[in-house]
Amino acid sequence: MVLASNLGYPRLGEKREWKFTLEKFWRHDIDEVAFEDRTKTIRLAALKKQQAAGVDIIPVADYSNYDHVLDTAVAFNAIPARFGQFDQKLTLTEYFAIARGTKAQVAAEMTKWFNTNYHYIVPELDYVTFRLLDNPWLARYQEAKAELGIEGKPVILGPVTFLKLAKLQDAHLSYEALIDHLNQLLPLYQTVVKQLAAAGCQWIQLDEPSLVTLTDATELKLYRQALAAIRAAAPEVKVELQTYFERPDFLADILNFDVDALGFDFVRDHGTLLPELKTLGFPEDKILAAGIIDGRNVWRSDFNQKTALIDDLLTIVSEDRLWLQPSNSLLHVPITTRNETHLDPVIKAGIAFADEKLEELNVLTAYANGEDVRSAITAQNEALAALNQSEHRNNPEVKAAVDAVMCRPTERNSVYADRVRAQKVLNLPLLPTTTIGSFPQSKLVRQKRAAWRKHELTDAQYQQFIESETKRWIEIQEDLKLDVLVHGEFERTDMVEYFGQKLSGFYATENGWVQSYGSRGVRPPLIFGDVIWHEPITVTDTAYAQSLTKRPVKGMLTSAVTIINWSFVRDDLPKNVVANQIGLALRHEVQALEAAGIKIIQVDEPALREGLPLKAQYRQAYLDNAVKAFKITTTGVADSTQIHTHMCYSDFEDILPTISALDADVISIETSRSHGESIKAFETGTYDKQIGLGVYDIHSPRVPSVEEIKQNINRALQVIDVHQFWINPDCGLKTRNEPEAIEALAHMVQATDEVRASIALRS
C-alpha cells in the first residue's frame, strides 16, 4: 500500500498565533509558562490538521520557537561563547538572546536557507564543546503520541548539513574540520536516537539537504559515517534520509546508503531523476519517498502529470515501498486558502496552500492505491485549464511590449566613468550617509492602515496621515544630518507585496503569511497573470517628500528578480519571461520618478543571490536573465540620475561580475551580521562603482556604539576606496522601534563624521 508522508508544516498558525506569542514574550506580556502553553496549542492544531487530512506519516519536531537550525545548535551546545557557558537546557530568554542579540552582545549571524527566503541562524563553532543539553525531538515525539495518539516521525537536521551550515573563524568548515567536528558530534546524535528508540519511536526523518549541493564524491563518506553511527546506536529505528530543493548527484552511491527510505525532490529535479532511477534501479530494501507536490509554490498540481509520474514510479518500486509527499517542508507556503475571501474564483480554484496540498496528497495517494478518484482529478484539471485559458494569462499587448523592449539596447546612455561626473550635480560629501529605505512601522502606522482597510478612514484621511509621518521623518533625517533621505515607506506593508497591490497580474493575499525569519512573516503576492503598469505607483509619496527638503530623496522600488523570488510565480511561463514583464512595468515607474524630479532612484535586488540555482550548470543563465530584467528597468534614465540597488545576506565573491554587470551607480550590501565577512570578496575582486557595506545590523534590537560602527567603516576602507564608499545600515529599519532607529542612526552619523575628520587630518 502506498502511504502519504509529510515533511513539515508551517509554524506561524492560521492567524499568526505563533508570531504574536513570540512577540508577547519578548515584550514581557507573558511568561515562559504561558508561552509554552500557547505554543503547544499551535503545535497540536497543526498535527490534528495533518491527521484529519489522512497523512499516514506525520512529521513531529519540525516545529521551532524561532529556527530549527538554532534548535539543533542549542541542543548540542553549539552556542557562541559570548552568550555564556551552559550545562543544561537554555531558558527561552537565553535561547532568544542568541537569535536577537542583547544590549551587550551581537546576535548570531543569520542567512538564507539554501535558495529560499527563509533565514536560519548560522551556528558558530569557535570555542564550542559539543554536549547534549536537550532532546527536543524526543519531547515532541512524546507529546504527539500522548496528546493525539500520533506515531510521529521526528524531523532531525542531519549532522553533516548542520556542520556545513556552520562557521568556524568566520568561514565555512574545511573538509578536515568537518571530519573533526563530525567525530565530536556523532556520539550526541547517537544519544538522541537511542532515547527516541527507548520511547518506542519507529521512524526518524534525517534531513540532509546539503547532499544536493555536493560536488565532491569524497565527501559522501561523511554522510556514510553519520548514517552508520545512527544505525549502530539504534538499529530498531528506521531512517528516512531526506533531500530537497534539487536532486543529488552521485545517485548510484546514495542509493546504497544504509537507510530505510530515501526522500527525493521530483519537482525541482529538472526532469532528470526519474530516468536515472529507471536506469540504475531502486534498491529492493528501501522505500522511495517521492516528493511530487510542489512545496515551494502555490499552484494546484496538474493531476494528469502527477498520476503519470506515479505510474512511472510504480514501475521502479512496489506499492509497499512508495511514499508520496511534498517536495519539501510546507514551511515555505501559507497555511490555507480558506481565508482568501476576495480572490477571483478562477484564480482561487487554481491555488493550493499547505492544507490544500495535503488534500492533493490524499487524492494522489488514493489514486496510487487504485481507488476511484476520477471526479477529483477531472475537477482539478478543469480548474487549471480555466486559469491557463483565462484573459489573465493571455494578454497580447503585454507580449508585444516585452518583445519590443527586448529588441532595443538595454544599456545606460554612457559608461559609469562618464555618469559619475554627471552626477556631481548631487553635491554629495565624502562617505555619503543614507538609509536603505523603510523606517519603523509603528503601532500607530499599523492601526491607521488597518482602519483604512476597514473603511474607517477615507482615502484622503489616510493619505494625510501618511504625509504627516513622511514629513516628521524627513525632519528627523535632517536633524540627524543624513545626506540622502528617504520618504520612509509608511504606505507599504512589504516591499514586494506593495507592488503586487499596484500592478495588474498580481494578487496580494489577505492571509497568505509565510515565515521569513523569527516572528517576521511576509505575504508573497501571487503573480497569476500578465503584468501591466497602469499609472505611477510611488511618485506621489516620493515627490511629496522631496518637496520638504533640499537634500536628495531616493525613489524606492523593488526589482523584478526579487519580486519573482519573493512571490508565488505563475508556473505556465518561464520565470525569466515573467521577470521581463515586471522589468518593463517598473521601467515606466523609474521614468515617471525621474520626470517628477527625483535624481536618485534605488531599485532593490535583495533576493538576487538567494535565487541562484543550487546546481552550477544552471547559474549563468539565471544570472544573465537577472541582469537583463534589471537593465530593462533601469536603463531609460539620464546620466545624471543616480541608480542605486541593495542586496541582502550573501556570499558575493562568486557573483561580483554579475553585480558589476547590473551597472548600478551605487550598490549597498547587507554585511554586518556576517561580521564583515563579505568584505573579503572585495579583497580579491575588483569593483569599480560605488558601494555601501552595511555598517550595523538592523535585525537585532541592539543599538551599536559609535566606536563599533567606526571599526566597521574602517575595516571596509581597508579594501574599498574612500571615494567609492557609502555609509548605511545593512537593511531597512521597518522592524525596529523609533528610539532604536534614531539612536543607531545618530551613532552612524557621528561615526562617519569622526572617520571623515580622521581622513582630513591624514590628507
Residue 362 contacts residue 279 (beta carbons within 8 Å): no
Question: 516: part of which helix (H) or strand (E)?
Answer: strand 514-517
- Candidate list 68, 332, 699, 747, residue with the active-site label: 699
DSSP 229-244: HHHHH-TTSEEEEE--
* Nearest in space to 105 (alpha carbons), one of 511, 697, 657: 697
**330 half-sphere exposure, CB direction, 13 A CA radius:** 31
Q: Is 112 annotated as a binding residue?
A: yes
Report the relative pairing of strands 554-558 and 526-532 from DSSP bridges.
unpaired
* Nearest in space to 3 (alpha carbons), one of 151, 225, 119, 221: 151
Q: Would you report the helix, strand and coil content of the chain in percent, each value rounded to 5?
A: 45, 15, 40
Q: Is 201 annotated as a binding residue?
A: no
Q: Is 28 annotated as a binding residue?
A: no
404: cell is 519590443
Q: Which amino acid is at 498?
A: Y
Between helix 738-762 and helix 459-480 the angle, nearest 10°, is: 30
Is 699 considered catalytic here? Answer: yes
Q: Which amino acid is at 754?
A: E
Report the relative pairing of strands 504-507 and 322-326 from DSSP bridges.
unpaired
Q: Is 17 annotated as a binding residue?
A: yes
Q: Is 566 annotated as a binding residue?
A: yes
Q: Is 726 annotated as a binding residue?
A: no
| Phi–psi pair at 534, nearest 5 degrees | -105, -40
Q: CA-CA distance, 113 to 119, in Å (whole number)? A: 5
Q: CA-CA distance, 664 to 24, in Å (whole number)? A: 41
Q: Is 306 annotated as a binding residue?
A: no
Q: State the DSSP code for 692.
A: E
> Count of H helices and E strands in the chain?
27, 23
Q: Is 731 annotated as a binding residue?
A: yes
Residue 441 contacts residue 495 (beta carbons within 8 Å): no
* Nearest in space to 80 (alpha carbons), one of 106, 110, 59, 118: 106
Q: State the DSSP code for 438.
A: B
Q: Is 231 annotated as a binding residue?
A: no
Q: Is 535 annotated as a binding residue?
A: no
Q: CA-CA distance, 323 to 624, in Å (whole number)? A: 38
- Helix/strand/coil for 667: strand
Q: Is 216 annotated as a binding residue?
A: no
CB atoms within 10 A of CB 394: 12
Residue 682 contacts residue 706 (beta carbons within 8 Å): no
Q: CA-CA distance, 100 to 698, in Å (whole number)? A: 10
Residues in the chain, how many? Answer: 763
Q: What angle do CA 345, 15, 134 make, to 5 degrees?
A: 135
Q: Residues 572-582, buried b or exposed e (16+ Cβ, 10 A)?
A: eeebbebbbbb
Between helix 32-52 and helix 92-100 the angle, nearest 10°, is: 80
Q: Is 392 annotated as a binding residue?
A: no
Residue ranges of the binding site for 5-methyltetrahydropteroyltri-L-glutamate: 16-19, 112, 566, 610
Residue ranges of the binding site for L-methionine: 436-438, 489, 604
Residue ranges of the binding site for Zn(2+): 646, 648, 670, 731
Residue ranges of the binding site: 16-19, 112, 436-438, 489, 566, 604, 610, 646, 648, 670, 731
Q: Which residues are marked as active site?
A: 699
